[in-house]
Amino acid sequence: MTLAAIWIRDLRVAMNTLRPADDRTLGAIADLLGFERAAAAPPPPPPEPEQLPPDETRPGDAGAESAPVQASDLPVTVQDLSAIAPRQAAGGTDAATKPLVLQVATPGVPPSPVPLLSPLAGRFIAQELVVSSRFGPEPDLIRLVDDLARYEIPQPLPLQERRTLARGVQVLVDDAEGMEPFTADQQRMVEVVRRLAGDALVEVRHIYEVPDPADPVQPWQAPPLGVPVLALTDLGLAGRVERGAAELVAGWQLIADTLAARGSSLVALLPHPPERWPAALVACMDLVPWDRSTTTVRARRARSKGPGQ
Amino acid sequence: MEAADETKFAYTPVVGEFTDDQNLWEKGRDQQQLSDRRDGSVYRMHPRVRLAVDVALAAGRPLLLRGEPGSGKSSLAPYLARNLGARYFEEVVAASTRVEDFLWQFDTVRKLSDAQARQPGDEPLDDANYVTPGILWRAFDPDGEFGSKDKPDAVVLIDEIDKADPDVPNGLLVPLGAGQFRVPARDDPIVIPDGRRVVVVITTNEERQLPPAFLRRCVVAYMPEPTEESLTAIARLHVGGPGGGDESEHDELFGVLAGRLLELRGQMTKRDRPPSVAEYLDAVRACMELDVDPSIPSSAWKAIEEFTLRKPTDVT
């Protein structure tokens, strides 16, 4: 069952059970289930034709795991509610005669211009980029005890792995000229990360071309040990850079090494295709394309393979 | 937050009438269980929250309550459980909470102990003996082990889900949506038996955004902003109990404190944590116990206001 079908089913069941007697109650029930009133007339235009790639289903989306989300599913406009609203309205309201035009509220969808990432997928992609794995300090007791129960000595000691955002994240926003067209996307991504991890756990640092601890205006400081770093940068690929290409690569390599030594991952979202990525940087940090072809699965793969893969 | 329009909605409710329990309230009072009590004895339910409860029951969806800390989100669940005659389970979420904590836990210590007592050649240990049920398992109770023979229905409170990593709400989609989940070393899934109602109440303080897929599967209600009228009515109920009536000898105190709380809320900046119902009740109790009149400036009142209504947000 698609998400839209789930909403409609819930609305239908609620209406049939509660039998709202006036328009206010009917609207409140729909609102509680995630619907909102659409513009009275004309009905809202259909959303831009868009179909997420087949691997872009939502995590844990029961009943819809194998079904791609169609543009026709979201938002949903319900115009036939008069059929399920009670015909005999108490108090002489117009709930029985006027169809209530509703649509599914779509929270968190940023305004135009068209963002680099699909609004639906952006949150999940961001999550893949900033989540970190934590091994231990707790041992993986189930595996450990299983080994001991079989008279086997676990070697090495198995530690529990957890994917977590509890460490927080440092977001590097590149203010260089080459990123000017993507300023709105950078802001969107920062906002998404803030909502995901919580304001208190997100540190946003502005950089110019490359994080520079000696920069007199925007000195970069490494985050606390183990805190992942997400860079929203073009790594100077736009060409309009003050530093030379070799200097930029060396600068990013230094940052990647510094972070690796501190147990922090470094992943960069790049609004340029992989063919243009500097090989030296591919080898030392996770790079993820920042465009409509990016999916959660692709982001996860880039992270799980690690640098240089 | 919703505007506090207290006009009732017109519909056929799933639950006929919610009632307060005088005896339970008195028992709690005698045991000094006055603050943050979870006995479900009394609750003043805004009509919109009442409608949300009925919609959640009708649609069979979890009820997600959003709103400020102290606005009465968590205390709704035990009140609901008592009124439905249902068993009650709760789990307060922390950053370290995992999805499995709601479903089952594995008793590794006991298995290790048993393993040490084994001799080579003994039968291998059965993992099923070391799995202990979490709150959703107890609430679903497919085997009738957790009180469902006497009280089939259950209310589950998952408190402050926004404290958890995003994987937790995502991992709860199937257990909450389909009413079933699997357990290691057990062939049959844990399923809600036919005819049993399991009502899940989830609260969030919105420190983190919840996944859209999770929100879609919940009936989402905002706790309404307090008004002078609602605060006074709540104070009457909590101080005088259900039998206290529509008026109280302390109404003047309740009104002054309600006015002060609303005044402070109006002065708060966006970053401040505004005082809510819980802080109001603390101030009411403090003034009553210490015999302090908030309408007369005094050092005692100043201190009570500082301790209860004006809590600093930058405490580290």
Write the pLDDT tens digit of every residue in B152-206. Answer: 999 999 999 998 887 899 889 889 988 999 998 788 899 999 889 999 999 998 8
Contact A213, A220 (CB under 8 A): yes
Which residues of chain B have a CB within 8 Å of the CB of A161?
Answer: none
Contact of B127 with B184, CB cutoff 8 Å: yes
At B238, list the tokens: 């909590």
Strand partners, A6: none
A169-174/B154-159 β-pairing? unpaired
Residues of A within 8 A of B10 (CB-CB) are 20-22, 24-25, 90-91
Q: How confident is the model at residue A58 (pLDDT cuts 50, 70, 90)?
A: very low
Nearest to B12 among A19, A123, A145 (CB): A19
Closest Cβ opposite residue A164 in set B111, B165, B212? B165
| Closest residue to B11, CB basis, from A18, A164, A200 | A18
Q: What is the pLDDT of residue A141?
A: 81
Q: What is the DSSP secondary structure assignment for residue A210, as one 8-state letter?
A: B
pLDDT reported for residue B146: 93
Residue with the bigger pLDDT between A123 and B150: it is B150
pLDDT, position B136:
96
Q: Name every chain B residue with its beta carbon within 8 A of the beta carbon of A151.
A: 120
Option in A32, A142, A165 nearest B55 (CB): A32
Confidence (pLDDT) at B313: 61
Q: Distance (Å) from the C-alpha of residue A182 to the closest C-alpha of chain B?
A: 24
Q: State how far the alpha carbon of A234 is from the alpha carbons of A173, A254, B23, in Å.
A: 10, 17, 68
Chain A residues lying within 8 Å of B118, measured CB to CB? 149
Highest mean pLDDT: which of A137-141, A275-279, B151-155? Answer: B151-155
Q: What are phi and psi of B2, to 5 degrees?
A: -80, 145
Question: According to the model, what pLDDT value does residue A88 have?
Answer: 35
Residue ranges of alpha helices (H) inside chain B are 22-30, 47-59, 76-84, 99-103, 108-117, 135-140, 167-171, 173-178, 212-216, 228-240, 251-267, 277-290, 299-304
Q: Do A60 and B52 touch (CB under 8 A)?
A: no
Peptide bond into A224 cis (omega under 30): no
CB contact under 8 A, B108 and A197: no
Q: Inter-chain contact B213–A58, Cβ cutoff 8 Å?
A: yes
**What per-residue confidence (pLDDT) applies to B281?**
92
Q: Does domain A126-133+164-305 match CATH 2.30.30?
A: no
| Mean pLDDT, residues A272-290 taken together | 89
Q: What is the pLDDT of residue A306?
A: 57
Average pLDDT score over residue span B212-229: 90
Query: Which domains does chain B carry?
Result: 22-222 (3.40.50.300), 228-309 (no CATH)
pLDDT tens, B6-48? 889 999 999 888 999 988 888 887 776 656 677 888 999 999 9
Q: Do B108 and A29 lie within an 8 Å CB cutoff? A: no
Average pLDDT on A111-125 reads 74
Angle at A130 between CA A126 and CA A131, to 5 degrees: 110
Strands B154-159 and B198-204, by their bridges, are parallel
Neighbours of B279 (CB within 10 A): 22
Q: Number of residue pairs across A and B with CB atoms under 8 Å?
A: 132
- Beta carbons of B55 and A25 less than 8 Å apart: no
- The answer to whether the CB of A287 falls within 8 A of the CB of A301 is no
Q: Which of B63, B102, B209, B223 to mutate to test the interface with A (most CBs of A within 10 A)?
A: B209
Q: What is this structure's pTM? A: 0.70
Chain A nearest CA to B248, separation (Å):
33
> Where is pLDDT greater, at B311 or A288?
A288
CA A276 to mean position of chain CA atoms: 25
**Domain residue ranges in chain A:** 3-107, 126-133+164-305
| pLDDT higher than 60, residue A57 | no
pLDDT at A7: 74
Closest Cα in chain B, distance from residue A22 (Å): 6
> CA A177, A179, A184: angle at the middle one, nearest 5?
125
Q: Region A96-114: what's the mean pLDDT?
A: 49
Reading the block at residue A138, the tokens are 């707790």
